Structure 1
Amino acid sequence: MQKTTLRYLLGLLLFQACAEPPQDQNTPKIQEREKTAFQTSNPWKPVTDVRADVAIVYSVKDHHGKANMTFEERVQTWRDKGYTTHFMSGIAWGEYQDYFTGEWDGEWHLDEGQVTQKGDTLWHGRMVPYIVPSMNFIEYMKEKVIKRVIDAGIDAIYLEEPEFWARAGYSEAFKREWKDYYGFDWRPQHESAENTYLSNKLKYHLYYRAVEECFSFAKEYGKTKGMEVRCYVPTHSLVNYSQWMIVSPEASLASLPSVDGYIAQVWTGTSREPNYFNGQAKERVFETAFLEYGSMESMTAPTGRKVYFLTDPIEDWPRDWADYKKNYQATFAAQLLYPMVADYEVMPWPDRIYEGLYRTSADSDKKERIPRFYSTQMQVMINTLNDMPLSENKVSGSHGIGILMSNSLMFQRFPTHQGYDDPQLSNFYGQALPLLKRGVPVKTVHIENASFPRTWEDVNILTMSYSNMKPMEREAHEHIANWVKKGGVLVYCGRDEDPFQTVQDWWNKDGNNFKAPSEDLFQKLGLKAPFEAGEFNYGQGKVVVIRQDPKEFILEENNDAEFVNTIKKLYDEDTESGMLEFKNHFSLTRGPYEIISVVNENEDQSPYHVKGKFIDLFDPEIPVLNEKQVQPGEQAFLYNIESVKEPQTPKVLATASRIYDEKVDKNGYSLVAKSPLNTTNVMRILLPEKAKTIAITDATGKVLEAESSWDESSKTCFLSFENNPDGVYVKLKW
């Protein structure tokens, strides 16, 4: 495909109107929708004008960072550019120095930080500890943060990352909360599994209370202003918090009337956390991201809550641009494989993405701002999210296999007791990776959602273990037993020998004397003591007990055969499900988009091969391809040109900008493209025939330099020019 550099300086090549932008040069307000968003603590700048629907303005602190503005002034800069504005701040940490230093109520509160056994306070920044959220701090949040935000006219509030570190729990503030909650004096968590469990249940409760108090107040205060305030929790996945040894309310919040939804904070930084498979611990970014997004989707779907999926083109830790690109593609593909979610936080912190300095290669100390090829690719990707459709299609593979999760996964992670360890959350990954690595799209099921009928939709086989979690409510066993009775197949893996089996909880007190919580479940399923390994019928369903902890399947090489073969046998016996399919890839069609990921560490090392007429959306040149090969360990994101229903109607198929003011007439097509300054746009436009004239101008009518080419086989025009947040005006005539 030949490209020609155009300077469009000769009037003979243009019809007169080409060089004139529309009469109304004011930036049009973005549609009143909230499909895409980003978060920023800074005012609008031309270099970070991301053009998502929503700008989530971070922190109420005046003169934040380098911006010499009040919070309200920062918000207004985004509104002036047509954005819907929301608000975000941390709830476990934030710029709340006036609370800790006594400016708010005349008393110092630095004793309300999270403290480790060594007496060290866990800090998030200068004079900002991770917080033990006392009722006094909650009142501060209401008065100083939430009221001000609502008074500024913002009707959507995000309080992010309600986090209590598992290694904390030794501060005076925590000891006071312990006495109030349990009615007896604090006990050091390192002394017993019982104390650890009690400590983490309290941490869980404290942030459950904090979120409920703050959001209930926000809704009530909003009503006094005639506003319907919506409240969201941006949070890491239960998979990640459990692996990183952090306690948070997670799934329980989805049942609160004051919680309208979540942001699933999944990105390279969370998904690159190593896990074990086939005896080897290493990063498995795609697979981990797939499970993280899945845990967030399954946490919210049964309750009908909204969830935004987040990706980040970089991450918190400084690395090189090639590393960022590779792992961004992996997490981006993983999120798109959930076709029932179509709302996205397209990036956090655009300032650090567009203006930060990062290494040019892994073995170099040289740093530079985001390369043009990467910013172009990133903008192509995020602009697809503005149009990404929901879909009833399912990711390829055998469906119906679920893995049970509980918030109590976070309770047993630190410290270890009696020599029992669960390295890198292997009792969870031991149920997931042996199937996921064989191309089976397993889903997660939250025990906290067991009472909701939607939880059990499309679940034919459920694997579970109490080696790494415990059921917080006995009622969940009734729902599991009813599901089995109606035809479900339950596979229980566990020796039930970890020290948390004997902590004082409902299964061994108040008249119950079960040695392990599984015994209550087994009894409800009609099993008899001593509950040995085997296969049992219950109603129309089955129960299979494997007396191994799931970590044993993956901590040693080639040790998952019994588990995998058991699942396959059960699946194959279910005539409705068909035969369990093993493969090395996942693929999904969402409208015109094709998402593909090929896994490695699989016996099948062949590439995935697809033929058709595609635009490669991971390539900043957005070339037209007749075929695509995806190698093991890689992903692909394609636009299927042949899926366009009206090929004679002009349409932008792919672009590194957001498109406004499209106009089509008998032999012409015009549009306005907007994207951040100092970035390069590429566009591929479907036309009924090759354009005879192309005019590209800025908002003042100045003719711009550009590149152009025509691909006859796909009937698409390629354009490239420098982006401008004020708009680049494109007119084509044929």
Structure 2
Amino acid sequence: MVRSRNEEKTGFQESGPYHPAYDLQTDFVMVYGIDDSMPTRIQQWKDRGYIVHLMTGVAWGNYENYLNGQIDGRTHWDEAQMDRHEERIIHGDTPEIPYMVPTLSYAKFLAERIRIAVDAGVEAIHLEEPEFWVNGGYSEAFQREWRLYYKEPWAPPHSSPDAQFRASKLKAYLYTRALDRLCTEMKDYCLTTYGRDLRFYVPTHSLINYTQWRIVSPESQLIDLPSIDGYIAQIWTGTSRTPNVYQGLRKERTFETAYLEYGMMQELVRGTGRRMWFLHDPIEDNPNYTWSDYQQNYYQSVTASLLHPAVSHFEVSPWPRRIFQGKYPSEDGTGKESIPQDYATTLLQVMHTLGHMDQDWEQTEDAMQQVGVFIADSAMFQRMKIEDDNTPAITSKYDGTNSEALEAEGDIELLNFSPFYGLALPLLKHGIPVRPVQLDNVRRFAHYLNDYKVLVLSYEFMKPEYPDLHFALAGWVRNGGALVYVGDDTDPYHGVRAWWNETDSKYACPREHLFEQFGLKDAEDGVYQVGKGAVGYLPVAPEGCAISEEGANALRTMVMKTMEALNNPDCKWRPKHYFQVCRGPYIIAAVLDESVADSPVTIPGPVVDLFDPSLSVKHDVQVAPGEQVLLFDLEKGRVAVGEAGCIAASSRIESGSRSSSGFEFQVKGPEDMSATARFYCSKQPVAAVMDCHDKAESIPFEWDEASGTVLLRYCHRSDTDVVVKVSWEASEVQ
């Protein structure tokens, strides 16, 4: 379990000073926020052995001195994002903290603040959540940017689909421009001034969530910026519990949504060499749930992330202070309570296990049948529903906590994002490994689609920004790919000013141009051979695949028929009601509800249950529909005969050694937190002690003869030199 912090496998963010109560012992920490206390906080975490990064908001922050003109003598309130009612769009409930239009002046201001962090010696900087709200685009600064970008008078975004599409496209461009200027300037400053490299990362929600919540962000555009070194996938219960519709039923589907979101972010960096950390949050921003609710949803999101083994770096928690020192509603509704000890112990076990997920992996027999569902950045550009009277159906800002406000406006359908989920959930719920595929990357990377045999596409909720995407798709199909297109050409955004309707050959929608490349100009419902591949055409609105079982079945049938047309024995429809992957000795599995079966799935042992605070040894595990597991395979992970080895621990294991009479290891973790560790052990122990500054105290242990393992229980201390010693000879007991 010993690993170098330089690998930066795990980290967390924290705005408070160092405190032993939430010292998670990850590889790095992201000190949050730039203020007078920042240099002190950086040094405190450095002194505890952490690699230190800095995180700060790029769309909002305590920037009153800039807004009020104390920086350059000019007030900048005209750069606050504003809706059509001339109301500022604010972060949280603080009027003095608006979301910003990223002007050149604002980017310069941020650069000067970042310079302070560079001078303080951080190794990397995370510019969090470049967000522009769909219902924004009315401030004076944005109107000026419109004139400069489009060279025409500003049009209110709610006035037409074209105005909304163009406004959102400009919003994404502005944040791309700001990040490029800021990061390039600061990298040059750091290298010139200090002779060291500085890294920049962007913590961002998934494209799926930003589209669903009606937020515009650069997303895949950042791949084109050499100054950006990677991302943090900000996916957690708060995003993934957003309800969606499957077979007519709207409800929370945290596991399925998280599975798609993490898949989207894995796809975002595939083949780029950029770093991606997957975020987990044991609670969430909404403080109104119970610990049992948080725990259940945490297991779902962690499991969903681990089913995407191309990523093995993790932000194990934002704000550990609010987890280990916060209080949340009790189960009986009588008040608030601190985190249960068992849950805290389990969290630490999982967090330290995440640092060891960079393993060879193998998937069950469904690996060849993964199906890609296309989504593009442009999906964010058409998230305002324009009514006949040019009044948007939804005017509220949605941040994951106020669905009631949207429901009160009478149009929750836009939040459901059923055009996308209608294509993904009918396949996912039948055990097909669905991968959201970034359409924009098709033109960035020559062989981007080679990993896929089956792709699903619709232009009813997004648009292709360049015609050469279709040439690549046509070549992929002719070389043996199966493309299923779903759409009825009724989306009002087909009429926006774009390449498909501004050339000599006018197309009513981009699908017509795509089908022309296949030689299927007059195609109707059905499956068509195109070269070595096939095209399936289902001319229905994609949201129709979400609102009923018949709609979901129609999509599944079309996908099956198109796959069959390939005559490829490795590309078959194999429905099941679970997902499972093995990453080295770790087994990750989830059993689906609303699926093809309602029976449990049995995973043979012996295994250790890593979601169990007692790290129990089980001879087999029954996983019921709606449940998830993270297990350690005791046979696959077994160490050499006579050796001792750590299976799992709720501590950071800094060092260890073995002798003929026992073994010992150094442990670190949050102060006063109950901890467990299970080790392979060549003999039955006779004693276990915790040694702190040469003062030893006995700790309880449990021997499991069948597995040859020992479970140790102890309590973390704030001291750095704490050693646990296990002896199997009485003479070694101290």
The TM-score with structure 1 as length reference comes to 0.92
- For residue 84 of structure 2, the aligned residue among 117, 127, 134 is 117
Instruction: Return the alpha-carbon distance in structure 2 between the equivalents of residues 531 and 219 of structure 1.
Output: 53
Deviations 1:317-360 (A, max 9, x none): 01110000000000000010011110111111111111111112
Alignment of 1:39-78 (within 5 A): 39-62=13-36, 70-78=37-45
The one of 219, 230, 234 equivalent to 2:187 is: 219
Match of 1:8 in 2: none
Instruction: Write the distance in 1 (CA, Å) between the matches of 2:196 and 2:503.
Output: 46
Which one-letter code corresponds to 1:177 in the other structure?
E
How far off its partner does 1:619 sit?
1.0
Q: Which residue of 2 aligns with 1:299?
A: 268
Q: Distance in 1 between matches of 2:461 and 2:318?
A: 32
Look up the match of 1:545.
537
1:592/1:639 contact within 8 Å kept? yes
Q: Counterpart in 2 of 1:696? A: 690
* Secondary structure in structure 2 of the residue aligned to 1:44: coil
1:79-90 equivalent positions in 2, closer than 5 A: 79-90=46-57
Q: Residue 646 of structure 2 aligns with which residue?
A: 652
Residues 454 and 369 of structure 1: is their aligned pair in 2 closer, same or farther, counting only changes over 3 Å? Answer: farther
Following superposition, the deviation at residue 97 of structure 1 comes to 2.1
Instruction: For 1:158, give the aligned amino acid.
Output: H
1:537 positional shift:
2.4
What does residue 330 of structure 1 align with? 300
Q: 1:155 & 1:526 partners in 2: Cα distance?
A: 54
Check the 8 A contact 2:609/2:632 in 1, yes or no. Answer: yes
- 2:263 partner letter: G
Distance 1:569 1:510, change over 3 A: closer
CA distance in 1, matches of 2:71, 2:154: 29
2:230 aligned to which of 253, 256, 261: 261
Amino acid at match of 1:579: K
How far does the alpha carbon of each residue in 1:119-159 deviate from its partner, in whole angstroms, 9 at most, with x for none? 2111113511000111000000111x221121112231110
Q: Cα–Cα, structure 1 residues 205 and 86, in superposed 2: closer, same or farther, change >3 Å?
A: same
Gaps of 5+ in 1: 1-27, 63-69
Aligned residue number for residue 183 of structure 1: 151
Deviation at 1:661, TM superposition (A): 1.6
One-letter identity of the residue aligned with 2:552: D
Return 228-237 or 123-132, whichever deviates more.
123-132
Select 2:672's aligned residue among 678, 681, 686: 678
- In the alignment, the residues of structure 1 paired with residue 271 and residue 518 of structure 2 have an alpha-carbon distance, to the nearest angstrom, of 24
Q: 1:667 aligns with which of 656, 661, 665?
A: 661
Aligned partner of 1:5 in structure 2 is none
Gaps of 5+ in 2: 394-410, 729-734
Q: Distance in 2 between matches of 1:395 and 1:152?
A: 48
Would you say the 8 A contact 2:688–2:726 is kept in 1? yes
Deviation of 1:199 after TM superposition, in Å, equals 0.9
**Of 405, 429, 435, which residue of structure 1 is paired with 2:427?**
435
Change (3 A) 1:511 1:222: farther
Query: Which amino acid is 1:683 matched to?
Result: A
Aligned to 2:338: 369
Aligned partners of 1:217 and 1:471: how far apart in 2? 32
Is the contact made by 2:483 and 2:562 (CA closer than 8 Å) also made in structure 1?
no
For 2:158, give the aligned amino acid. Answer: H
Cα distance between partner residues in 2 of 1:369 and 1:32: 33
The more displaced of 230-239 and 482-491 is: 482-491
Looking at structure 2, the residues matched to 533 and 422 of structure 1 have their Cα atoms a distance apart, in angstroms, of: 27
Distance 1:268 1:382, change over 3 A: same
Distance, in Å, in 1 between the alignment partners of 2:316 and 2:415 is: 32
The residue number in structure 1 matching 2:478 is 485
Cα RMSD of the aligned pairs, angstroms, is 1.7
Asked if 1:315 corresponds to 2:284, the answer is yes
Counterparts in 2 of 1:11-160, with a 5 A limit?
31-62=5-36, 70-124=37-91, 125-143=94-112, 145-160=113-128
Question: In the aligned structure 2, how far is the partner of 1:373 from the partner of 1:156?
Answer: 34
- Alignment pair present for 1:498 and 2:491: yes
SS at structure 2 position matched to 1:642: coil
CA positional deviation for 1:188: 1.0
Determine the structure 2 residue equivalent to 1:631: 624
For the residue of structure 2 that corresponds to 1:108, the secondary structure is coil
RCO higher in structure (CA 8 A, sep ≥6): 1
Matches within 5 A, 1:357-436: 357-361=327-331, 363-394=332-363, 397=366, 399-418=369-388, 422=414, 424-436=416-428
How far 1:367 sits from its partner (Å)?
A: 0.7
Residue 576 of structure 1, CA deviation: 3.9
Q: Tell me by how many angstroms 1:213 deviates.
A: 1.2
> Cα–Cα, structure 1 residues 275 and 118, in superposed 2: closer, same or farther, change >3 Å?
same
- The more displaced of 569-578 and 252-261 is 569-578
Are the counterparts in 1 of residues 639 and 645 from structure 2 also a CA contact under 8 Å? Answer: no
Q: Which residue of 2 aligns with 1:15?
A: none
Equivalent pairs: percent with the same residue? Answer: 39
Checking the alignment, whether the CA contact within 8 Å between 2:428 and 2:434 is kept in structure 1 is: yes
Aligned to 2:166: 198
- Between the aligned partners of 1:249 and 1:184, the Cα distance in structure 2 is 23
Superposition deviation, residue 705 in structure 1: 5.4
Counterpart amino acid of residue 367 in structure 1: K
Aligned partners of 1:572, 1:690: CA distance in 2, in Å?
57
TM-score (norm 2): 0.92
**Structure-2 separation of matches of 1:102 and 1:466:** 45
Paired with 2:161 and 2:571, the residues of 1 have a C-alpha distance of 44
2:220 alignment partner, SS class: helix
| Aligned partner of residue 283 in structure 2, secondary structure | coil
Deviation of 1:163 (Å): 0.4
CA shift at 1:423, angstroms? Answer: 5.3
Give the whole-Å Cα distance in 1 for the aligned partners of 2:162 and 2:364.
42
Tell me what 2:405 maps to.
none
CA-CA distance at 1:667 after TM superposition:
2.4
Q: Distance in 1 between matches of 2:6 and 2:420?
A: 41
Larger displacement relative to structure 2 (451-460 or 255-264):
451-460
- 2: distance between equivalents of 1:122 and 1:535? 48
* 1:486 alignment partner AA: N
**Partner Cα distance (2:568, 2:549) in 1:** 32
1:459 aligned residue: 452
Letter in 2 for 1:353: I
**2:399 alignment partner in structure 1:** none
The letter of the residue matching 1:480 is L
Structure 1 runs of 4+ with >6 Å offset? none
Structure 2 CA distance for aligned equivalents of residues 105 and 688 of structure 1: 69
Amino acid at match of 2:79: E
Secondary structure, aligned partner of 1:32: helix
Q: Which residue does the alignment assign to 1:240?
A: 209
Structure 1: which amino acid aligns with 2:29? Answer: A
1:448 and 1:693 map into 2 onto residues whose CA distance is 60
Question: Structure 1 residues 642 and 29, CA, compared in 2 at 3 Å: closer, same or farther?
Answer: closer
Match for residue 24 of structure 1?
none
Say yes or no: does 1:532 pair with 2:524. yes
Deviation of the 1:512 alpha carbon: 4.0
3-state SS of paired residue (1:393)? strand
- The alpha-carbon deviation at position 450 of structure 1 amounts to 0.2
On the 8 A contact 2:267/2:436 being kept in 1, the answer is yes
Q: Residue 455 of structure 1: SS of its match in structure 2? A: coil
Cα deviations by residue, 1:644-665 (Å, 9 ceiling, x for unpaired): 2425310111111111120112
Q: How many residue pairs end up in the alignment?
A: 696
